[in-house]
Amino acid sequence: MDDRRVDTAQRSFSRLFPYEWRMMTPLLAVMVIILAYPIAYSALLSFRNVDLTKPGRDAFVGFDQYVTVLKQPLYWTALTNTFIFVAVAVTLELVLGLALAVSLKKQKRFRNLTRAILLTPMFVTPIAVGLMFRFLLNNQLGLVPVILQKLGISIDFFSADLALLSLALIDVWQWTPFMMLMLLAGLENLPEEPHEAAHVDGANAWQTLIRVTVPMMKPIILVAVLIRALDALKVFEYVYAITRGGPGAATETLQFFIYKIGFGYYRLSEAAAVSWTVVILVMAVLVLSLWRTTRGRSA
């Protein structure tokens, strides 16, 4: 119906390269140019044994690197720590973000100011945030412990038990604004009727929130949580700035582990292998969990 005036040549061109694929070309072009080589390179790297301290010994070794990696206890510690970090941080961010979004929506005065201030932590580069908190939470040199000491509390923020939690809280400080932003937007777009209906039915604020608001926001909650979780998996700067993975292996995270192997010990192939195990694992989890959700939606 649309290209009625075209000639035969153009029509076959359209059939070979249909409109929708032509729309894809810029993205495909850019992604192929910038990602094809790096991804292929790193995948191939994981099947060799490139070690910069032993040049000339580079050879194809199949899955050897993967086996070496999976046999290291530190790898599993890093994996566990990272997943705990992500779970704690993202959950807190979701809850706090929701609370903030709901409160902001109902705020009468200063709304723009509050929102602007609350958004700023997102814009500070993570390593600066890490260093900031390293000194803020320092027992002798930091403001926070000084205040806590006045209340008689002494906390070792980076002890073996609390270090990972402290890092997660730093993540919460930095990224709750993102969650808040997404959820606020979702809130502003919800229709009023269900809320009014609930009010008429006698539901109180809490019940309305849990039974009406949150279920309606499921799609945006999903998007926000997914993006945030994928990003949190890559936590590195906080560890590097504050604890270097310690005490012991309490804050050893995947990215830090990969960084040490690749940039500290120069075993590039091993680092690539670790990275790919993470990619495969997370893709598997993602695909499985999202497939079930979108199956219902696209129907």
Partner 1 sequence: MTPQRGYKVFEEWGNWLFAAGGAIQDEAGNVVLDSPQARDALAKYIQTYNESAPANSLNWAFDEALRATAGGQAAMMLSYNWMLPTLNNPDGPAGELAGKFGLAEVPGGKAVLGAWFWAIPANSNNKDAAWTFVHWLTSPEQDTKRVIAGGAPVRDSVMDDPQVHEQGFGQEYYATVKEILKDASSLGDGPGAEEMIQAVGLELSAAVSGQKSVDQAVADAAKQAGEIMSK
Partner 2 sequence: MRAYRAKNKFWTWAREAFLWAAVLAVLFPYTWVVLSSFKSPADLTNPTKLLFAPVLDNWARVFAGGIVNNFGLSLLVGLATVLITLLAGTPAAYAISHYAVGGWLARFGILLAELIPPSVLVLPLFLVSYYLKVNGMVIPVIVAHLTFVLPVVTWFLISFFDDIPRDLEQAALIDGCTRFQAFLKVVLPQVLPGLGAAAIFGFVLSWNDMFYALILGGETAKTLPVAIAGYNTFRGVQLGDMSVAILVSVLPTLLLSFFIQRRMIRGIGGGGVKG
| Residues 8-67 close enough to bind partner 1 by CB under 8 A | 53-54
Nearest to residue 45, comparing CAs of 67, 61, 69? Answer: 61
CB nearer to partner 2: pick between 39 and 70: 39
Q: Which is nearer to partner 1, 1 or 151 (CB)?
A: 151
| Minimum distance, C-beta of residue 83 to partner 1, in the bound complex (Å) | 20
Which is nearest to 187 in space by CA: 107, 296, 299, 295?
A: 107
CB 71 within 8 A of CB 151: no
Residues 6+ apart with CB under 8 A from 98: 179, 183, 214
Cα separation, 57 vs 50, in Å, equals 7
Question: For residue 202, which amino acid is it?
Answer: G
- 8 A C-beta contact, residue 177 and residue 121: yes
Binding to partner 2 (CB under 8 A) within 24-43 occurs at 24, 26-31, 34-35, 37-39, 41-42
- Strand (E) or helix (H) holding 237: helix 237-238
Task: Name the residue nearer to partner 1 (CB basis): 97 or 245.
Answer: 245
- Does 158 bind partner 1 (CB under 8 A)? Our answer is yes
Residues in binding contact with partner 1, number by CB under 8 A: 29
Query: Which span sits near partner 2 by CB under 8 A: 61-69, 87-95, 231-239, 244-252?
Result: 231-239
Q: Is 133 in the site for partner 1 (CB under 8 A)?
A: no
What track of x and - describes contact with partner 1 for positions 239 through 258 (by CB under 8 A)?
A: ---xxxxxxxxx--------
Rank residues 78 and 233 by Cβ distance to partner 1 and give the closer one: 78
The stretch among 18-26, 57-65, 68-76, 243-251 that binds partner 2 (CB under 8 A) is 18-26
Q: How far is the CB of 93 from partner 1 (least distance, A)?
A: 24
Helix (H) or strand (E) holding 289: helix 268-298
Q: CB–CB of 170/158 below 8 Å? A: no
CA distance 22 to 60: 39
Contact flag: residue 114 with partner 1 (CB under 8 A)? no
Separation of alpha carbons 114 and 92, rounded Å: 20
User: What minimum distance in Å lies between the beta carbon of 50 and partner 1?
Assistant: 14
Would you tell me which residues interact with partner 1 (CB under 8 A)? Answer: 53-54, 74, 134, 138-141, 145, 154-160, 163, 242-250, 260, 264-265
